Amino acid sequence: MERTAVYPFTAIVGQEEMKLSLLLNVINPLLGGVLVKGEKGTAKSTAVRALAELLPPLDCVRGCRFHCDPEHREDWCDDCRDAWEDAAEVPSDWCPMRVVELPVNATEDRVAGTLDMETAIRQGKKKFEPGILADANRNILYVDEINLLDDHVVDILLDAAAMGVNTVEREGISYSHPARFVLVGTMNPEEGDIRPQLLDRFGLSVTVTGEHERENRIEVIKRRLAYERDTDAFLAQYAREQEELAQRILAARKLLPKGTIDDDTLGKVADLSLALGVDGHRADITVIKTALTNAAFHGRTRVERDDLLAAAKLALPHRMRRRPFEEGTLDWDRVTEILA
């Protein structure tokens, strides 16, 4: 059966905050992922799957089940270290960027992987059966209806996303492997909420709704019908925009390490978190990292006010103190005043 072509990212109408949050995370996976809240039919899944099509293939060590990067030996799995650590050249293959989906009924063993204890006891060897986190390394991990996922499994995901490593321990035996991925969770708030402690650990969060402008809704329908009527022609129509955005992502990745931010800007971010009553320091750090990434996306190394405003809108609302069953609300006038 022939694989259906993915709907182009650049053809998605509206949803600018969602698209920006996804792009910033693929430019800088250290942002900590994004949680997309929204009603059904608002292009959440479409945007995630389209994102992978923008990204270049991965250079992977040949035969590695964790897709290790031959150029970054410090991030290699144990198998690659044992086989190639002293090698001058490492054989590799190009692997397409993937969206790895995690089913809502996934168990801890299915997600993290398992250790074969019988082999460990009888032969004294570690035999590890990889899980979903192994597939997700250097790819995009997509969790639909993440609010319905078992809390313990969500903890495992967020720990791996934050550390870049997945560790499985059984009976005093442990196995670790690289698990660096872009985490994207989506949920419909009508089906239940996610614990505030877990919510805070997502780098960015956005809420999406259907288009409320008549012309935009018409454009959504037109594009979808055109895509289904003649997919190849539709893809060709957006090929140039797709290529330009893909090159912009690559340029931003190269520019990001050169980003700078002064003490005055750091002070404004600290003032902002204090004024809004945000707990902990994760919010401050995420706002700064997001602002630096947004600056790189726009071809700059120095953070400007617009970068801070964009970062605040994506990184702060879900970290606001709130009562149960209430949404975090951001006093935008206060934000613009502090960041003036």
Residues with catalytic roles? 282
Beta bridge partners of 60: 93
**Rounded Cα gap, residues 7 and 50, in angstroms:** 6
Q: Are 175 and 131 in contact (CB under 8 A)?
A: no
Q: Is 197 helix (H, G, I), strand (E, B) or coil?
A: helix
**Rounded Cα gap, residues 277 and 239, in angstroms:** 45
In b/e form, how buried is each residue of 2-36, taking b as 16+ CB within 10 angstroms? eeeebbbbbbbbbbebbbbbbbbbbbbbebbbbbb
Q: How buried is 281 (Cβ within 10 angstroms: 0-12 exposed, 13-18 middle, 19+ buried)?
A: exposed
**Rounded Cα gap, residues 93 and 91, in angstroms:** 7
